[in-house]
Amino acid sequence: MSHLHHLHIVAVVNGYKINKVLIDGGAAISLLPERMLGKVGKHVSELVPTNIAVTNFSGDSTTAIGLVTLIVKVGSSERHSVFVVVPSKASYNVLLGRDWIHGVSAVPSTVHQSVLLWTEEGKPEIVKADLSLHVEQMHANFRIYNRKLKPLNVDRSLNPYNCEGCYLTSEGLSVKLRYPDMPYEPIGWDCDS
């Protein structure tokens, strides 16, 4: 289900290779967490003062520390971009917003986990997402915290996808999903097929 992941790439920012670069079409501006300033060769004293307040998706506002212009290289595309530097504990190292996306005429796709760019010759160039971040996040550590509890016996013959229902298409609800190996008749989903 990689299409449900955020679109993270690796980019070269001010000559430094940076991972966890989030391309976010929902963000109007590009952001740089304050902790990344030194990692791209900049210092707080080099920031241009600003009174911008950045509002996140939940409505919380943060006052920006300042503005900085950085050279961003993604694939063969290289562009000077203005970043709003924020005091953030974000999971990304750099956020490229619509200002960057439109500025380089990029077409980001979370479905394909890639970004389509255009070379100087006008040819398409595809930059693949960095999926290593998601692989690391899928590992879980298991620990028994209460040693008096017995381990669960899991019936491995159960199919976790036994279900009946509908799926959503551009025309609306469609086609009843049915798995014939179900030992019972499920209820709860109604649709015409």
Q: How confident is the model over 86-116, as pLDDT tens digits?
A: 998 888 999 999 999 999 999 999 999 999 9
Query: If you average pLDDT over residues 181-185, what whole number do you get?
Result: 51
Q: Which pLDDT tens digit goes with each residue over 37-62?
A: 999 999 999 999 999 999 887 888 99
Q: What is the distance of C-alpha 81 from the center of its chain?
A: 20
Q: Which residues contact 103 (CB under 8 A, 6 or more apart)?
A: 79, 81
Question: What was the pLDDT predicted at 132?
Answer: 81
The answer on pLDDT for 80 being more than 90 is yes
Dist CA 133 CA 139 (whole Å): 11
State the pLDDT confidence band at 148, using cuts at 50, 70 and 90: low
Q: Do strands 16-23 and 94-96 pair parallel, antiparallel, or not at all (unpaired)?
A: parallel
Q: Which pLDDT tens digit goes with each residue over 117-140?
A: 999 999 999 999 998 876 544 445
Nearest alpha-carbon partner for 122 in 77, 72, 81: 77
Domains of the chain, CATH where assigned: 2-137 (2.40.70.10)
Exposed, middle or buried: residue 174 (CB in 10 Å: 0-12, 13-18, 19+)? Answer: middle
State the pLDDT confidence band at 3, using cuts at 50, 70 and 90: low
Q: Which pLDDT tens digit goes with each residue over 12-45?
A: 999 999 999 999 999 999 999 999 999 999 999 9
Question: What was the pLDDT predicted at 152?
Answer: 57
Cβ distance 91 to 80 under 8 Å? no
The answer on pLDDT for 11 being more than 50 is yes
Q: Which residues contact 140 (CB under 8 A, 6 or more apart)?
A: none
Question: What was the pLDDT predicted at 131?
Answer: 84
Question: What was the pLDDT predicted at 2?
Answer: 58
Nearest alpha-carbon partner for 32 in 42, 118, 105: 42
Question: What was the pLDDT predicted at 135?
Answer: 56
